Amino acid sequence: MNASSTSDPRAELERLQSELADRQSPTCFAHAGIALVAALLFAGAAGKLFWDSIRTPLLGIAAAVLALALTTFGVIRYLQGRRRLRDEVARFERLMGLRRALRVDDPDNLLPQR
């Protein structure tokens, strides 16, 4: 954290809200899921091509390589998603701590004063 964010809690609150508005972890998890499902399909196709072939199954080898590449991509995106989610959760907890410290969600502050 820099010195300006610790000296002005309202500015840090705004900064955290803007950072958390654009979350990256769901995109990473979606990429991982789609890549792993596609890898499973290509692996199944490669297995079928190997099983049914009489000669060297060049298409089966290509499908197996593609399945391996998709699996690698899916695992990398999953790990990126976990790391980003951990960072987002830490920022969210900091945001909630600031909201409590600034009494943003305090019902007494929301009611009209008499």
Pinpoint the alpha helices (H) of 1-113.
Answer: 3-7, 9-21, 25-52, 58-102, 107-110
pLDDT, residue 6, reads 57
Q: Cα separation of 66 and 59, whole Å? A: 10
Q: What is the mean pLDDT of residues 92-99?
A: 90
User: How many residues in the chain?
Assistant: 114
Model confidence at 83: pLDDT above 80: yes
Give ∠ CA 35-38-40 in degrees, rounded to 5: 110
- pLDDT tens digits for 35-70? 999 999 999 999 999 999 999 999 999 999 999 999
pLDDT score at 81: 98
Task: Give the start-to-end residue ranges of the domains of the chain.
Answer: 19-100
